[in-house]
């Protein structure tokens, strides 16, 4: 946590985070434009934010894009919040909300977490029903082969569809699949208003990708959920759910017990 507080202590780095909060997924050139800093200074500040895990990076062709990452703030709030006085708690809560806020003009959600586990154990947690049911409340029926259909099961209700398929499966390295259908079965499983579910169904089908990278005794997990409609309601709902879900996954792998599950938000990942 020392790296997080050191990173946030600098006003220039906070301005970079503010810029990403306004528009996520910017390149170094875009972040540098309009700032009273040299390109080299911006690059150095971004390196500090990346090292503190407050910013995640993804390559799009030859361009490296930068994304806000809420995981360190979630860790503070979830595990050590009681150690701070009321004023600091309020400041952390405001920062956490800012980092989790996804601009509605963006079309993807990016989240990076460092977990004290192995790639093999993390892969098992993402694919084995015995694991997914504990931190997600969902199980998957699939053979995890590329092109295979996936059935999402929650509360005894099966959500199936020919377009719910595995897109990539490289054990211990990369997993990707199409997001589930929003139909009558989904509305039944989560006791949602069918009219509300129909709004999600009208949006394009999104996809989620899990990138797994060994980092010493830990594993770096990057989750990219993309393909949303600009200004759609689904991205906002999914973004809220992923932060809690991935915190619970991390806690389960590191302590043996997931976070207590709250009531699921509509269409959020915790809703399967």
Q: Which structure tokens are listed for 26?
A: 């910017």
pLDDT band at 142 (very low <50, low <70, confident <90, very high): very high
Residue 5: its pLDDT value, please? 82
Q: How large a percentage of the chain has pLDDT more than 70?
A: 82
3-state secondary structure string across 16-67: HHHHHHHCCCEEHHHHHCCCCCCHHHHHHHHHHHHHCCCEEEEEECCEEEEE
Domain(s) of CATH 3.30.530.20: residues in the chain: 110-271
Residue 213: its pLDDT value, please? 95
pLDDT band at 263 (very low <50, low <70, confident <90, very high): very low
Q: Which structure tokens are listed for 224?
A: 């990219």
Residue 26: its pLDDT value, please? 85
CATH topology of domain 110-271: Alpha-D-Glucose-1,6-Bisphosphate; Chain A, domain 4 (3.30.530)
Domain(s) of CATH 1.10.10.10: residues in the chain: 2-100
pLDDT band at 210 (very low <50, low <70, confident <90, very high): very high
**What is the rounded distance in angstroms from the CA atom of residue 201 to the CA atom of residue 265?**
16
DSSP label of 181: P
**Is the torsion defined by CA of 221, 238, 267, 258 positive or negative?**
positive
26-82: pLDDT as tens digits: 888 888 886 777 888 888 989 999 888 888 888 888 888 888 887 777 666 655 554
**What is the rounded distance in angstroms from the CA atom of residue 68 to the CA atom of residue 110?**
8
Q: What is the mean pLDDT of the chain?
A: 81
| Highest averaged pLDDT of the listed ranges 42-46, 97-101, 162-166 | 162-166
**What is the rounded distance in angstroms from the CA atom of residue 11 to the CA atom of residue 200?**
39
| CATH class entry, domain 2-100 | mainly alpha
Residue 34: its pLDDT value, please? 65
pLDDT band at 183 (very low <50, low <70, confident <90, very high): confident
Residue 143: its pLDDT value, please? 97
109-136: pLDDT as tens digits: 888 989 999 999 999 999 999 999 999 9
Q: Which structure tokens are listed for 61?
A: 């062709």
Residue 2: its pLDDT value, please? 76
Cite the DSSP H helix spans in 101-141. 119-127, 129-135
**What is the average per-residue pLDDT within 258-269?**
54
What's the pTM?
0.68
């Amino acid at each position: 946590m020392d790296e997080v507080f050191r990173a946030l202590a600098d006003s220039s780095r906070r301005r970079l985070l503010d810029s990403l909060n306004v528009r996520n997924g910017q390149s170094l050139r875009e972040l540098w434009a309009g700032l009273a800093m040299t390109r080299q200074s911006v690059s150095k500040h971004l390196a500090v934010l990346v090292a503190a895990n407050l910013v995640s990076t993804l390559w799009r062709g030859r361009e490296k894009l930068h994304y806000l990452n809420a995981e360190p703030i979630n860790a503070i709030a979830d595990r050590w919040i009681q150690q701070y006085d009321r004023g600091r708690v309020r400041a952390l809560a405001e920062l956490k909300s800012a980092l989790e806020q996804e601009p509605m003009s963006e079309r993807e959600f990016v989240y990076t977490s460092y977990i004290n586990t192995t790639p093999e154990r993390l892969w098992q947690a993402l694919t084995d029903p015995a694991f997914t049911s504990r931190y997600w409340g969902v199980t998957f029926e699939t053979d995890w082969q590329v092109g295979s259909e996936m059935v999402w099961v929650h509360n005894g209700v099966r959500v199936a569809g020919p377009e719910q398929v595995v897109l990539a499966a490289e054990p211990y390295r990369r997993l990707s699949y199409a997001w589930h259908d929003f139909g009558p079965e989904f509305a039944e499983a989560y006791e949602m208003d069918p009219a509300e579910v129909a709004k999600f169904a009208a949006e394009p089908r999104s996809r989620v990708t899990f990138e797994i990278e060994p980092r010493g005794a830990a594993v770096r997990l990057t989750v990219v959920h993309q393909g949303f409609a600009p200004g759609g309601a689904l991205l906002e709902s999914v973004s809220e759910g992923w932060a809690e879900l991935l915190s619970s996954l991390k806690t389960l792998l590191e302590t043996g017990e997931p976070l207590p599950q709250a009531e699921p938000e509509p269409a959020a990942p915790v809703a399967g």
